[in-house]
Chains A and B, each alone.
Chain A
């Protein structure tokens, strides 16, 4: 069974045509991989489908805009994967 990171990395590679081997757990989706907000919608759609969750993008965006969170907390892939795992766990609890 693929790890959360492998699934997310494969989604990013396929959606944004980014070489899979350049995507690491420490990659920042925006700053390192150059993914813009529009491409991230496609990634969010694929993640929502793959994990059966709904990434709270509106809440995250609001928190970043209000200075309550940094983009690293949501868009560094290891952090994104941890949040996905949390959402999956909450769904199955």
Chain B
């Protein structure tokens, strides 16, 4: 994780397109400028960044399922729960599932866990937006490869 760059996912360890499920590993850094403010003298992983972890986990799965045809924008978060605090250095696992692929949108569920138990869970909604340009899609594909996303070959 590089929190200040919003790079939340270290790597994906499972991607099951048939069941539309995905699993990511994310290790919270021991140091980050974010911890200087959240909180001074008591560093905690911000809850909103746990939401972001769930959004990125399932957002990548939307990209996989839609063949990188657009950018999944987070447009809704429901039933979000932060069940425990997360300290620097904690390794987190996020398990996501796309529960519905609509026309131009997708609905997902995701939960985060540490070795001590449940950390967070939420229902997430995505709208598929056009990429701003082909270069952006290429950059997303390259970013995905770095975290273990298998990118489908473009249609010929």
Report the separation of the CA atoms of residues A59 and B75 in the bound assembly, to the nearest whole angstrom. 20
Given contacts A41-B125, A41-B127, contact A58 B104 (CB under 8 A): yes
Report the separation of the CA atoms of residues A61 and B76 in the bound assembly, to the nearest whole angstrom. 20
Residue of B nearest to A38 (CB): B75
Binary B-proximity of A40-68 (CB < 8 A = 1, otherwise 0): 01101100110000111111010000000
Q: How far is the CB of B74 from chain A (nearest CB, A)?
A: 11
Q: Which of A38, A45, A58 contacts B100 (CB 8 A)?
A: A45
B131 interface residue per 8 A CB criterion:
no
Report the separation of the CA atoms of residues A49 and B99 in the bound assembly, to the nearest whole angstrom. 10
Residue of B nearest to A58 (CB): B104
Q: How far is the CB of B15 from chain A (nearest CB, A)?
A: 23
If over half of A's interface residues share one DSSP class (helix, strand or loop), that class is named, otherwise mixed; here it is helix
Let me know if B102 and A59 touch, CB within 8 A: no
Let me know if A56 and B105 touch, CB within 8 A: no
In the complex, chain B residues whose CB is within 8 Å of the CB of A41:
75-76, 102, 105, 125, 127
Let me know if B103 and A55 touch, CB within 8 A: yes
Report the separation of the CA atoms of residues A45 and B107 in the bound assembly, to the nearest whole angstrom. 8
Let me know if B75 and A55 touch, CB within 8 A: no
Residue of B nearest to A44 (CB): B102
Residue of A nearest to B100 (CB): A45
Residue in B101, B102, B125 with the greatest tally of chain A CB atoms within 10 Å: B102
Residue of A nearest to B78 (CB): A42
Let me know if A59 and B103 touch, CB within 8 A: yes
Report the separation of the CA atoms of residues A41 and B102 in the bound assembly, to the nearest whole angstrom. 9
**Residues of B with Cβ closer than 8 Å to A?**
75-76, 100-105, 107, 125, 127
Q: List 18 A-B contacts (CB under 8 A).
A: A38-B75, A38-B76, A41-B102, A41-B125, A41-B127, A44-B103, A44-B105, A45-B100, A45-B107, A48-B102, A54-B101, A54-B102, A54-B103, A56-B103, A57-B103, A57-B104, A57-B105, A58-B104
**Residues of A with Cβ closer than 8 Å to B?**
38, 41-42, 44-45, 48-49, 54-59, 61
7 residue pairs, one from A and one from B, having the closest CB atoms:
A58-B104, A57-B103, A58-B103, A56-B103, A41-B105, A57-B104, A45-B107
